[in-house]
Copies of this chain bind each other. A is one copy, B any other.
């Protein structure tokens, strides 16, 4: 059985939990609190030298970090990955965009605010992350204006990956009111079979 090292409020962990649930794959959850340094212990660093969750332990294979590598591994050959090669590339395009443009801004601000860091304390960093986070939301909104899902006209890993932090962007101080296409897309995702909220399994 898979073993998942994770922290429930993590959007990166949520991507993996949602895929496991929607593909009905059983797993054991090992919860680690990233706020207390649990992912920086010598024991955890031996499993993932990059010191991050989510981390998937695959029996007989080893430890696999990086949320997008994990979900691509779990979903290979399933309905969550487009069959067409170009649409599969489109799915990866969005997953790369998420890790480079969206997550470092929206997820990081959300994490900082959850840790109790303040606007005054964050200063220029907050201004920059706000600007870059809204720029990512602008790109996402434009792309969703004329499509229901991000790749191949179907619900895929791309939607799961982008939804994870976008739907909790308000917890990072982002206002989704000016983004009607994003809000409609989030609602479509929340109507998928076996959808579950971020901190529920």
Residues of A within 8 A of B (CB): 49-50, 58, 61-62, 64-70, 72-73, 76, 85-86, 88-90, 92-93, 95-97, 99-101, 103-104, 139, 142-143
Q: Which of B61, B66, B92 contacts A97 (CB 8 A)?
A: B66
Are B65 and A86 in contact (CB-based, < 8 A)? no
How many Å lie between the Cα of A58 and that of B93 in the bound state? 14
Chain B residues with CB below 8 A from A96, complex form: 66-69, 99
Interface residues of chain A: helix, strand, loop or mixed (majority): helix
Closest residue of chain B to A64 (Cβ to Cβ) is B89
Are B143 and A49 in contact (CB-based, < 8 A)? yes
Closest residue of chain B to A61 (Cβ to Cβ) is B86
Chain B residues with CB below 8 A from A88, complex form: 73
Chain B residues with CB below 8 A from A69, complex form: 89-90, 92-93, 95-96
A-B contact pairs, 21 of them (CB 8 A): A50-B139, A58-B86, A61-B86, A62-B86, A64-B86, A64-B89, A65-B93, A66-B92, A66-B93, A66-B96, A67-B96, A69-B89, A69-B90, A69-B92, A70-B89, A72-B89, A73-B86, A73-B89, A73-B92, A99-B99, A100-B103
How many Å lie between the Cα of A143 and that of B48 in the bound state? 10
11 further A-B contacts with Cβ under 8 Å, apart from A49-B139, A67-B96, A100-B103, are A49-B143, A58-B86, A64-B93, A66-B92, A66-B93, A69-B95, A70-B89, A72-B89, A73-B85, A73-B89, A104-B104
Those 7 A-B pairs whose CB atoms lie nearest each other, nearest first: A73-B89, A69-B92, A66-B96, A69-B93, A66-B93, A61-B86, A69-B89
Q: How far is the CB of A73 from chain B (nearest CB, A)?
A: 4
Q: How far is the CB of A99 from chain B (nearest CB, A)?
A: 5
Chain B residues with CB below 8 A from A139, complex form: 49-50
Q: How far is the CB of A16 from chain B (nearest CB, A)?
A: 12
How many Å lie between the Cα of A68 and that of B95 in the bound state? 10
